[in-house]
Amino acid sequence: MISTVTATTTTVTTTQVMAYGIIAVVALIAFLALKEIMSSESEKSSKINNFVKGSNVAIIPLLIVFVSIVAYKVVTII
């Protein structure tokens, strides 16, 4: 049996990486602010309480991206 494999190569420029990094940091700030605002109202509604508990699903990956951006910036400066 003969099978063919095709590969595509994608080039990512520095400008694209910077743009996606800025988007990730803004999203992280927005999620952290939203979680903080909603946590004060979490006693009133179970839906809000579930949102506050579940928001870590979005916050943790964005936090990892933020830490990797900071680490990259520190390494390139040194």
pLDDT at 1: 66
By CB atoms closer than 10 A (0-12, 13-18, 19+), residue 14 is exposed
Q: Is the pTM of this model over 0.85?
A: no
The domain ranges of the chain are 14-77
Burial per residue of 25-49, b for 16 or more beta-carbon CB atoms within 10 angstroms, e otherwise: eebbeebeeebeeeeeebeeeeebe
* Rounded Cα gap, residues 69 and 3, in angstroms: 40
Q: Which residues have C-beta within 8 Å of that of residue 38, sequence separation ≥ 6?
A: 48, 51, 52, 55
- Using one digit for the tens of pLDDT, what is the confidence trace for 3-49? 777 777 777 787 888 888 899 999 999 999 999 998 888 788 888 88
